[in-house]
Structure 1
Amino acid sequence: MAKDTKNNDWKDRLNVVYSTNPNFQYETGNTEEAETLSPNQQKLRVQLDRKNRGGKVVTLVTGFVGTDDDLKELGRMLKSKCGVGGSAKDGEIIVQGDFKQKVIELLKKEGYTQTKPVG
């Protein structure tokens, strides 16, 4: 009985102890990232947020559809233009401080035409 060795990478099977099913096919659960929409198709929402931040204000940009690399690149551009820190993960960009109007202006300059302020 020949074993299929091309799909037998042990790193893909971490946390699977043993299977008695001879037809068992381990699924890695790798999901493909969504393709990044063009800037004029993105529907971004810009808002100020204070929740769970110790009373400090942050500018929150949500609604980005695309790859994590493109999200981080946009976040890096916004943070550097505002001269502050922040983060970009889980489809949202956090810019430290109250930069709502400046972020909206920067996004419109970059071609994000469907940007709208919230709240």
Structure 2
Amino acid sequence: MDLHDQLKNLFPDHEPEEEPKKNSDAPSYWLQDDPIICKYEKRKGKPITILEGYNGAESDFKKLAKDLKTFLGVGGSFKNDTIIIQGDYRDKIMAFLKENGFSVKRVGG
């Protein structure tokens, strides 16, 4: 007897509510008019990609950072309103951001 059956025995008159299905293909970020700046640097001899200029809520910014790191399969961090991604992934990051409706400006090389 699983949990669903046990709950039905305890509460026979209860009808479970169906949860509305979410569209998991389209993550919802706050979009802005100004472009996000995507630049490349080397710190301690290692390449990094830096994203600046997002002026949405901090929770949206953290969600965007997490989704980017998951999409690329690399490490990174969120500090001082910037996203730092390990490695040079400017082209992939810009394509990802454009797919999600952002405008992106490439800075440097």
Structure 1 residue aligned with 2:94: 104
Q: Look up the equivalent residue of 2:106 and give its one-letter code.
A: P
Question: Contact 2:48–2:88 at 8 Å: present in 1 too?
Answer: yes
Which of the numbers 46, 59, 71 marks the counterpart of 2:38? Answer: 46
Matches for 1:80-91 after TM superposition, within 5 Å: 80-91=70-81
Which of 50, 54, 57 aligns to 1:67? It is 57
Number of equivalent positions: 80
Compare the two structures and name the one with the higher strand fraction. Answer: 2
Quote the Cα distance in structure 2 between the aligned partners of 1:62 and 1:80: 19
Deviation at 1:90, TM superposition (A): 1.4
1:45 match: secondary structure: strand
Poorly superposed stretches of 4+, deviation over 2 Å? none
Assess if the C-alpha contact under 8 Å between 2:30 and 2:60 holds in 1: no
Which amino acid in structure 1 is aligned with residue 94 of structure 2?
I
Q: Please, which runs of 5 or more residues in structure 1 have no aligned partner?
A: 1-36
Question: Gaps (5+ residues) in structure 2?
Answer: 1-28
Distance 2:44 2:107 in 1: 21
Over the matched positions of the two proteins, sequence identity in percent amounts to 36
Distance 1:58 1:89 in 2: 14
Q: Is contact 1:72–1:89 with CA below 8 Å preserved after alignment? A: no
| Alignment TM-score, normalising by the size of structure 2 | 0.68
Q: TM-score normalised to the size of structure 1?
A: 0.63
Q: How far 1:89 sits from its partner (Å)?
A: 2.3
In the alignment, the residues of structure 2 paired with residue 38 and residue 78 of structure 1 have an alpha-carbon distance, to the nearest angstrom, of: 15
CA deviations 1:24-79 (Å, max 9, x no partner) are xxxxxxxxxxxxx94252420101111xx211000100101022111110000111
3-state SS of the aligned residue for 2:70?
helix
Q: Aligned partners of 1:38 and 1:72: how far apart in 2?
A: 12
